[in-house]
Structure 1
Amino acid sequence: MAAPGPRRLSAAFREHLRLLGLRDFPCGLGSWNKSRFGARTSPSGQEEDEDLPLGEESPQALMELLRDPHSPWALPPGCSPQDQQLRDLAVQAPQLVSGTRVLQVFRSLRIVGKDVSAVDEDLLQLQHLEELILCANQISRVTSANLPRTLKVLELCCNAVADLQELCSQPPPQLQHLGLGYNRLCGPSQDKYLTVDFWPNLISLDLSFNNLTELLELVSQLSSLQKLRVLVLQGNPLALIPAYRGFVVDGLPQLSVLDDIHIEPDERNQFRGLARQPELIRSETQVVVSIGKIKGVPDPSTLQELEVDTKAAAITYSYCVTYEFAEGEEVEDGGSAEVTTIHQSPAVATLGADSSARDMGETKGQQESAAVEEPTARAAHLFVTPGKPWADTIDCSYRKEHTAKDLVGLKGYLAAGTIVSVVEEKVLSWPVDADSEESAVTNKKAGQGLKKDGGKGPVPKDKQKQKQQEKKKKKQPCELRSDPPIRKTLGSRRVSLGALLATEDLVATVCDFGILITEQPLQPPSLEEKVHGNVHQLS
C-alpha cells in the first residue's frame, strides 16, 4: 500500500471554508433570506419592505444565531476574528462571498495543527492575503514563489523548517514579521539568510527555540536589518552564553524588545561597548546546582526493631540526593561521577510514593527544540551529594558549579529537565568471629604452662584473677566486618528546567515525594494461613 502524499495547504484551506459554512444556513442564500436579495432588495442589500415572508429570518436573528456561543451554528473553536467577519458578511451580503469571490475577501488565513506539510501554488489565488499563520504543522520547507506578494505576516512556529534557502529565493518584499520559533534551524549555515537583502522591511523576527549556536555571526548578519525592532532568540544554545543579552543589546542598537523584554536606556548604557569586545564571548556557560535540606524521612531507629536476625549487627543509615546533569560538562573538583544513559524527553515525570523531601536547585544559564522533534536518548552524569546521618532535618549544604561546553547538549538537558532522587544507604556491620582463635591460643598456652609447672601444684586463685584482669586489659577492641551497602531510593521526581531556556536565570523548587511507605514488621502466619498452606501442600 502506497504511503499517503504530503498534505497540501490548499486542501486544508478548502476544509476550513467548509467548516465556516459560508453557503449554509444561517449564512449564504436560501429560503431563509431569498426575498431580501430578490426584486424587492435595494442595491445596498437592505429590505425595502420591513415585512418578512413566512419562513424567512431577519438579518439580526441570523446574526444572533452565529454569535451565541451555545448555538449549533456558533463559530468553531480556534478560528480567527476574520472568520467571524466573513460569516457576518455571508449573512449581510452573501453575494460577496459566493464562488471564487470569497478568495478576494481573505486578508488573513489561519491554518493551525492540520498536519500541513506543503505550501502549494494555489495559495496565490488569495491575491490580497496579508497574514498567513501556519503554526503546529509539519512544514519542513517553504517555496517563496508560492507566497502572495502582499504578505506582511508569516508565522511558521512549531514546524520542522531546517533550511531557509527556498524561502529566501523570492521572499515577499513587504514582509514585516517572520516567525520561525520552535523549528530546526542550525547555525551558522542559516545566518546568511537573515539580512536586509532578503527582508528589507522586517520589523519583528522570532527565531526562538532552534539550535542556533554562533552568536557573533548571527548578530553581524542581523545588524543589516535596520527596521528590526523586535527579536526573539531565547531557547537557542547561543542564548546560554553568559554575555548573550548584553552583546545583542549593544550589537543591535535598533532593537526595542529582546526576548519579550523591553530594552530600557539604562540597560543599553550598561552594555555599551560590549559588542566591540568579541573576545569576551565564549561558547560555554556555568550552571550552579545547590541542594538544601531534606525533611520527613522516618527515624531509622524505629525500623531496626523490625529487622530479622540482625541483633548481633550494627546498622548505620545515611542519606544523600542524586541528580542528573548533561554529559560533556567539566568535572572541576576531580570527583567521580557515575555515567548512566537516560532517555531525556519533555514527558511528565512519574512520582513515587516516598518521603517528603526539600530540594533547592539553583541554576544559572539560559523549552523544547523543535516542537515536532522526536526525543532522543542522551547520556548524562549522575551526581551524588555526600551522605548525611539521619535527622529530623537533614542539611545537605551541597553546592556544585558545572562548566558546560556543549551548549546544544545543555539545551536538550534543560528542555528535558533533571531527575532528583533521595537515596537511603544502609550498612550492616558484624563483629569478626575471633572466639575460636582466641580459645585455641589460650588452650595452647595453658598446656605449655602445665608442662613447665609439672609438679608445682595448682596455681593460687589470686594469681588466676590477676592473669584474667591482665587479659582483659590486653584484649583488643572488637573488629567489625561491613556488608556491601544496601541502597534504596525513597523518592524521585523530574524537576522542570525549561524556564532557564526562556528569560529566567534561577529555578528554585521544593520536591514533594509524597508519603513514605516504610517497611512492615514480619508477622507470624495466622492459624488460618497455616491450615490453608497445609491443604495447598497436600493437594
Structure 2
Amino acid sequence: PETRVTLKMDGCQEPENSWMAVPGPRSLSAAFREHLRLLGLRDFPCGLGSWNKSRFSARTSPSGQEEDEDLPLGEESPQALMELLRDPHSPWALPPGCSPQDQQLRDMAVQVPQLVSGTRVLQVFRSLRIVGKDVSEIDEDLLQLQHLEELILCANQISRVTSANLPRTLKVLELCCNAVADLQELCSQPPPQLQHLGLGYNRLCGPSQDKPNLVSLDLSFNNLTELLELVSQLSSLQKLRVLVLQGNPLALIPAYRGFVVDGLPQLSVLDDIHIEPDERHQFRGLARQPGELIRSEAQVVVSIGKIKGVPDPSTLQELEVDTKAAAITYSYCVTYEFAEGEEMEDGGSAEVGWVGEWDFRGSKEKVTSIFLIFFSCAAHLFVTPGKPWADTIDCSYRKEHTAKDLVGLKGYLAAGTIVSVVEEKVSVWQVFLHPRPLDKFLPAGPVPKDKQKQKQQEKKKKKQPCELRSDPPIRRTLGSRRVSLEALLATEDLVATVCDFGILITEQPLQPPSLEEKVVRSIKNKDPTEPEEGRGLEAVPLTVEFQVQLLRWPSAAAQSPWSTVAVDKAP
C-alpha cells in the first residue's frame, strides 16, 4: 500500500498506511494528528512540491518581489491552486464540518508553505476545535501549542482534566457534552488567563473550586443540588459576569434565581437572561435570609382542562346485545405520570384517583369505583375525577405536586410525561335478596277467579326486596401520548399544550340493511341534489388541554388561559 507521511506533535515524521484512525477512545494529540492529516497541509495542492518548486526557488527582485517569469511545465499558479481548494466540487475541497481556521491554514499552505512545515505549524494555532472525535484524555503533547488561546473539545469522552497539560496562554476552554465529574485536578493550577470555562452537560455533582479570573462559567445541565454551597463558592469570583446553571436540579427550587441574583451581585447575565436593576432590587436581601426559602424541593402544578372529541357512548349502548343490565354508565378521566410520592416499605408507592361517582334512579346510595394503582417511586400515575359523557367534558383539574427529590424531578422533566384519556364502563344489575321458592313459579291447577284476583292484589302489595350490584369496571384507553417537559429545565416556567390523539373510529357491527333502508337509499340515489345523511358533519379529533407549571419564588405565576394554547399534534 501507498505510504503517506504525517506530522507528529513532536515534529518527527512517521509512516502511516491509512488516513483514518482506529475508532475508539484516544488522546487529544492523536485526534490532532488525524486532524492535520485530513487538512493535507503537505499534500497537493498545499505545501512544497513539483507543482510550485520553481516559485519558491526563484530569484527575487531588489524590491523584494518575485521576477515575472513563465511557470515551468507541470507547475500551477497560486491562483489555480487556491481555486482547487475552494471549489466545493473539487476532490481537494475541505470535508464537511471544518472550521474557517482550517480553510485559512490551507490557504497559508499554498501561499506561504514554509510557515506550516515541520513544527512551525504548531506555532500557528490560536484556536483548536475537535468535536465528536472520541477524545478521552488531554495529554501533555498539547503544551507544544504554545500560542493556543481557545480549545473546544465538545461531545467527546473526557472524564478528567489535568491543568498541568493545558497551555498557559489558554483563555477559552469548552468541554460541553463530556463525562467530567470532578474539577479537582483542573482547579489545582488552572491557566492564569482562563476567562471562559464551559462544562455544560457533564456529570458534576458538587461545587467547583476558585478560578479567580473567570468571566464566563457554564455549568448547565449537570447534577448540582446544593445551591447555598455553590453560591458561596462562586462569590469569590469577582470578575464573573456570565453564569449558566439552568438544567441543574438546584435550578428547580422556587427561590433559585432570586437567591443567585442577590448572592452574586457581580453577575450581569444569568441563564442567558440579563439581570435588570428592577430584578436585583426585587430580590435584595434574599441571600442573607435563606431559611425555609431555600429548601431542596420544587413545586409543580398540573392543570387539565377540557376533553373534546369523545364518541357518544349512547350509540354503542343501543347496540348492546345483553339487555338484562338495569343501567350501563360511562365515565371519562385523564391520567398522567409524575415523579413524586412517599416511598413505601416495599419500595413502591400508591396513589388513589376517583374515576367516577354517579346516582342511579334517585337512590341515596352512590356507586363509586376507585382506581388504585401501584408504582415504583420513579413515576406515579395520577387520575382525574371521572366525568360523564358530553360534547365537551370539562375536567377542571388542578393539583400541586411537591417534589423533594430534585434529581429525580430533573430526570422526569427530561423524559416527559404520558397523558392518556381513559373510558370506564360500568354495568349495574338488579339482584333479588330473598328469591321465592321454585314451586311458587310452577302451575298448581285451575284456580277460582275470585282467588286469582286476591293473589294479584297480594302480589301488588308485596314487593320483592332487591339491590343494585355492579360488575367490575371495564376500562379502555382512548388515546395516549408523550408530552415533552424539557422546556421547564431551561428558562421556561410553563408548558401548555393541547394533546391531539386523532379522530376515534367507533367500532360498529356490520348488519345487512333492512327493506326500508334499501328503499330510502334508492330514492336518494335517484335525486342527486338531496344531500346524503351525515354529509357536512366534520369529525372532531380527541383532544385534551394539559399544562405543567413550575412555581417560582416569591409566588406562583398567573396561569395562561386555555384560549392561547397552541395545538400540539401527537406523533
TM normalised by structure 1 equals: 0.77
After TM superposition, give the deviation of residue 219 of structure 1 in Å: 0.7
Structure 2 vs 1, CA of residues 460 and 328 (structure 1 numbering), >3 Å: closer, same or farther? closer
Name 2:281's counterpart in structure 1.
Answer: 269
After TM superposition, give the deviation of residue 32 of structure 1 in Å: 3.0
Deviates more, 1:89-98 or 1:472-481: 472-481
SS of the aligned residue for 1:191 comes to coil
Query: Is 1:511 matched up with 2:511?
Result: no
Structure 2 vs 1, CA of residues 525 and 276 (structure 1 numbering), >3 Å: closer, same or farther? same
Deviates more, 1:80-89 or 1:465-474: 465-474
| Structure 2 unaligned blocks of 5 or more | 1-19, 352-358, 366-377, 432-437, 518-566
Structure 2 vs 1, CA of residues 40 and 300 (structure 1 numbering), >3 Å: closer, same or farther? farther
Structure 2 vs 1, CA of residues 8 and 467 (structure 1 numbering), >3 Å: closer, same or farther? same
**What CA distance in whole angstroms lies between the structure 2 residues aligned with 1:502 and 1:224?**
26
Structure 2 vs 1, CA of residues 107 and 157 (structure 1 numbering), >3 Å: closer, same or farther? same
| Structure 1 unaligned blocks of 5 or more | 193-199, 339-361, 369-378, 433-449, 530-534
**What CA distance in whole angstroms lies between the structure 2 residues aligned with 1:410 and 1:182?**
17
**What CA distance in whole angstroms lies between the structure 2 residues aligned with 1:44 and 1:388?**
94
Deviates more, 1:245-254 or 1:451-460: 451-460
Structure 2 vs 1, CA of residues 482 and 101 (structure 1 numbering), >3 Å: closer, same or farther? same
- Alignment deviations for residues 304-325 of structure 1 (CA, whole Å, 9 cap, x no partner): 3444445656322111111111
Higher relative contact order (CA 8 A, sep 6+): 1
SS of the aligned residue for 2:399 comes to strand
Alignment check: 8 A CA contact 1:210 1:235 kept: yes
After TM superposition, give the deviation of residue 47 of structure 1 in Å: 4.5
After TM superposition, give the deviation of residue 364 of structure 1 in Å: 43
Percent of residue pairs bearing the same amino acid type: 94
- Alignment deviations for residues 61-100 of structure 1 (CA, whole Å, 9 cap, x no partner): 3323333334333322222222121112112111111122
- Alignment deviations for residues 120-167 of structure 1 (CA, whole Å, 9 cap, x no partner): 111111111111111111111011111111111111111111111111
Deviates more, 1:498-507 or 1:460-469: 460-469
Alignment check: 8 A CA contact 1:366 1:500 kept: no
Alignment check: 8 A CA contact 2:153 2:175 kept: yes
Alignment check: 8 A CA contact 1:325 1:418 kept: yes
Structure 2 vs 1, CA of residues 3 and 51 (structure 1 numbering), >3 Å: closer, same or farther? closer
Structure 2 vs 1, CA of residues 137 and 453 (structure 1 numbering), >3 Å: closer, same or farther? closer
Alignment check: 8 A CA contact 1:112 1:136 kept: yes
SS of the aligned residue for 2:379 comes to strand
After TM superposition, give the deviation of residue 250 of structure 1 in Å: 1.0
**What CA distance in whole angstroms lies between the structure 2 residues aligned with 1:524 and 1:129?**
83
Structure 2 vs 1, CA of residues 202 and 463 (structure 1 numbering), >3 Å: closer, same or farther? same
**What CA distance in whole angstroms lies between the structure 2 residues aligned with 1:486 and 1:454?**
38
Structure 2 vs 1, CA of residues 46 and 122 (structure 1 numbering), >3 Å: closer, same or farther? farther
SS of the aligned residue for 1:455 comes to coil
Structure 2 vs 1, CA of residues 33 and 2 (structure 1 numbering), >3 Å: closer, same or farther? closer
**What CA distance in whole angstroms lies between the structure 2 residues aligned with 1:538 and 1:20?**
45
Structure 2 vs 1, CA of residues 266 and 476 (structure 1 numbering), >3 Å: closer, same or farther? farther
What is the root-mean-square deviation of aligned Cα atoms in Å?
8.7
**What CA distance in whole angstroms lies between the structure 1 residues aligned with 2:293 and 2:160?**
36
After TM superposition, give the deviation of residue 240 of structure 1 in Å: 0.7
Structure 2 vs 1, CA of residues 473 and 397 (structure 1 numbering), >3 Å: closer, same or farther? farther
- Alignment deviations for residues 299-357 of structure 1 (CA, whole Å, 9 cap, x no partner): 1222234444456563221111111110346999999944xxxxxxxxxxxxxxxxxxx
Structure 2 vs 1, CA of residues 451 and 7 (structure 1 numbering), >3 Å: closer, same or farther? closer
Name 2:139's counterpart in structure 1.
Answer: 120
Alignment check: 8 A CA contact 1:111 1:135 kept: yes
Structure 2 vs 1, CA of residues 428 and 99 (structure 1 numbering), >3 Å: closer, same or farther? same
Alignment check: 8 A CA contact 2:331 2:386 kept: yes
Structure 2 vs 1, CA of residues 366 and 265 (structure 1 numbering), >3 Å: closer, same or farther? farther
Alignment check: 8 A CA contact 1:10 1:122 kept: yes
Name 1:381's counterpart in structure 2.
Answer: 380
Deviates more, 1:111-120 or 1:455-464: 455-464
Structure 2 vs 1, CA of residues 175 and 536 (structure 1 numbering), >3 Å: closer, same or farther? closer
Name 1:39's counterpart in structure 2.
Answer: 58
Structure 2 vs 1, CA of residues 127 and 538 (structure 1 numbering), >3 Å: closer, same or farther? closer
Q: In the TM superposition, what are the counterparts of 1:26-425 in structure 2 within 5 Å?
A: 26-40=45-59, 47-49=66-68, 51-187=70-206, 200-278=212-290, 279-310=292-323, 312=325, 314-328=327-341, 337-338=350-351, 379-425=378-424
Structure 2 vs 1, CA of residues 538 and 489 (structure 1 numbering), >3 Å: closer, same or farther? closer
Alignment check: 8 A CA contact 2:499 2:569 kept: no
